[in-house]
């Protein structure tokens, strides 16, 4: 069996933990993908994971494929400046004006790591704030979790993270203005940066209050710290100008990834020109990479942005998410479950709980076991939902009305079976 072989060569049999799908007998094995579908060892599934948000036009989109093939014909790496990467960056800057200059790297993890280093280099301060339940990739500065209390310091989420590194990271409850303001006042002039997911998509989907986002901007400005929006998920997904456009707040630095690489590896950190000019070779903050601005990722990303500029892909993807959110609430209600669905643009998540979901604590209070049972039943009926209540579902421009209605019919069956399994 493939999983046995995989376990012989990879820790836990996978190359990233979220692929383990521990609630299933074995991880899903992918064989192909096209439009809204994943082809797997368990048959064709309508995909709502969409590579954790990297795909927005649909899998194997012909325009993206074409751009990549054309690039391949010209060779695929030069490690020199190209005209394409300049055109690509100009396009991004036009849509996200807070990004006056940028550096193109290879993953969201690299982007946030470099943004934090840059903020520390620019401010000549060491302390950063991050938020409970926000995920910024897998590097030492941000692998810090929340303890109990308004703000906590230095509890690693991973073995191997030096205490000396993360004792410089305060973790504050997300979407809690009072806790945030109090913490900034305590840290004061030692604060280099605040890094935040302006819409949190790695702890389920949590849409913060506008006043929380405004407070981030006001308080960082007051103490001379930089505000970093981690828009690896939300950039070019919540519209062309991302979550910062949605909230009308201008951060000092932004990180991008996922959508802007069209499914190929990419990360970007960018922002105020005076801050970005601190990056090597124009300044003393070091970043370098053999694969930086990889021509294939740039070609794919540019094709995606050009498609998104037409508007139609957003319309289809957003309508799909809206319809699913409403439909799932109805289906769950009919089956007798208390379910809350949160949705914004082409993202949604459902929680087995009463009341609203506005904080990571609300997500923790949802019934995870029911979610995982539903996830397994949905696969049986041909739908691949986000693999945990702590992830987010994504729609794409390939999730047409027919696909959505087929999904809802499948979920109706899944909820009915769930009801009989748990004896409702
Ligand atoms: N930041 C956010 C908000 C993310 O969702 C992720 C990945 O899920 C990252 C950073 C890390 O990006 P990557 O997986 O490309 O390293």
Ligand 1: distance of its center to the CA of 142 in Å?
A: 11
Q: Is the CB of 134 under 6 A from ligand 1?
A: no
Q: Contact 325/257 with Cβ under 8 angstroms?
A: no
pLDDT of residue 95: 98
pLDDT of residue 352: 98
CA-closest candidate to residue 421, choices 351, 340, 354, 335: 335
| Other Cβ atoms within 10 Å of 416 Cβ, number | 15
Pairing state between β 144-145 and 155-156? antiparallel
Ligand 1: distance of its center to the CA of 138 in Å?
A: 8
Question: Which residue out of 16, 104, 231, 258 has the highest number of ligand 1 atoms within 8 Å of its CB and is therefore the one to mutate?
Answer: 258
Q: What is the pLDDT of residues 354-410, one digit of tens each?
A: 999 999 999 999 999 999 999 999 999 999 999 999 999 999 999 999 999 999 999
Q: Is the CB of 257 under 6 A from ligand 1?
A: yes
Q: How far apart are CA 204 and CA 35, in angstroms?
A: 24
pTM for the model: 0.98
Nearest ligand 1 atom, CA 265: 15
Distances (CA, A) of 126 to 93, 146, 166: 28, 19, 10
Ligand 1: distance of its center to the CA of 423 in Å?
A: 38
Q: Is the CB of 203 under 6 A from ligand 1?
A: no
Distances (CA, A) of 303 to 56, 59, 74: 12, 14, 17
Nearest ligand 1 atom, CA 137: 11
User: Is the bond preceding residue 281 a cis peptide, omega within 30 degrees?
Assistant: yes
Q: Is the CB of 230 under 6 A from ligand 1?
A: yes
Return phi, psi of residue 324, to 5°: -65, -40
Which residue blocks in 148-208 are alpha helix, DSSP H? 163-166, 177-187
User: Which amino acid residue places its CA nearest to atom 12 of ligand 1?
Assistant: 108
Structure tokens of 120?
């520390």
Task: Give the residue ranges of the chain where pLDDT is below 70.
Answer: none
Q: What is the pLDDT of residues 308-323, one digit of tens each?
A: 999 999 999 999 999 9
Ligand 1: distance of its center to the CA of 135 in Å?
A: 7
Q: Is the CB of 107 under 6 A from ligand 1?
A: yes
């Amino acid at each position: 069996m493939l999983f046995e072989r995989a376990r012989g060569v990879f820790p836990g049999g996978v190359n990233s933990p979220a692929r383990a799908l521990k609630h299933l007998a074995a991880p899903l094995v992918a064989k192909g993908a096209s439009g809204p579908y994943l082809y797997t060892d368990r048959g064709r599934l309508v995909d709502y994971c969409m590579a954790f948000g990297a795909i927005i036009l649909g899998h194997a989109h012909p325009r993206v494929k074409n751009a990549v093939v054309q690039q391949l014909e010209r060779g695929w790496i030069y490690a020199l400046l190209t005209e394409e990467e300049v055109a690509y960056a100009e396009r991004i800057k036009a849509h996200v004006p807070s990004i006056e200059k940028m550096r193109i790297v290879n993953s969201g993890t690299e982007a946030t790591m470099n943004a934090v280093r840059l903020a520390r280099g620019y401010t000549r301060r060491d302390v950063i704030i991050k938020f409970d339940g926000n995920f910024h990739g897998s590097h030492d500065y941000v692998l810090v979790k929340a303890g109990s209390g308004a703000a906590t310091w230095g509890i690693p989420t991973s073995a191997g993270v030096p205490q000396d590194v993360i004792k410089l990271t305060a973790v504050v409850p997300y979407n809690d203005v009072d806790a945030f303001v109090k913490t900034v006042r305590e840290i004061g002039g030692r604060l280099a940066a605040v890094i935040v997911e302006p819409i949190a998509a790695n702890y389920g989907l949590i849409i913060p209050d506008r006043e929380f986002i405004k407070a981030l901007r006001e308080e960082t400005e007051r103490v001379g710290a930089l505000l970093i929006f981690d828009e690896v998920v939300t950039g070019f997904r919540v519209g062309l100008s991302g979550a910062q456009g949605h909230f009308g707040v201008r951060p000092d630095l932004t990180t991008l990834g996922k959508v802007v690489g069209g499914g190929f590896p990419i990360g970007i950190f960018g922002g105020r020109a005076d801050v970005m000019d601190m990056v090597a070779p124009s300044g003393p903050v070091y970043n370098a990479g053999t694969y930086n601005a990889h021509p294939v990722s740039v070609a794919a990303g540019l094709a995606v942005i050009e498609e998104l500029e037409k508007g139609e892909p957003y319309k289809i993807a957003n309508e799909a998410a809206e319809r699913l959110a409403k439909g799932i609430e109805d289906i769950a209600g009919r089956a007798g479950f208390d379910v809350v669905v949160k949705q914004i643009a082409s993202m949604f998540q459902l929680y087995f709980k009463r009341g609203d979901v506005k904080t990571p604590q609300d997500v923790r209070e949802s019934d995870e076991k029911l979610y995982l049972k539903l996830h397994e039943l949905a696969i049986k009926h041909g739908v691949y939902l986000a693999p945990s209540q702590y992830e987010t579902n994504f729609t794409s421009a390939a999730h047409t009305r027919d696909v959505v209605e087929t999904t809802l019919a499948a979920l109706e069956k899944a909820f009915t079976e769930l009801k009989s399994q748990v004896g409702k």
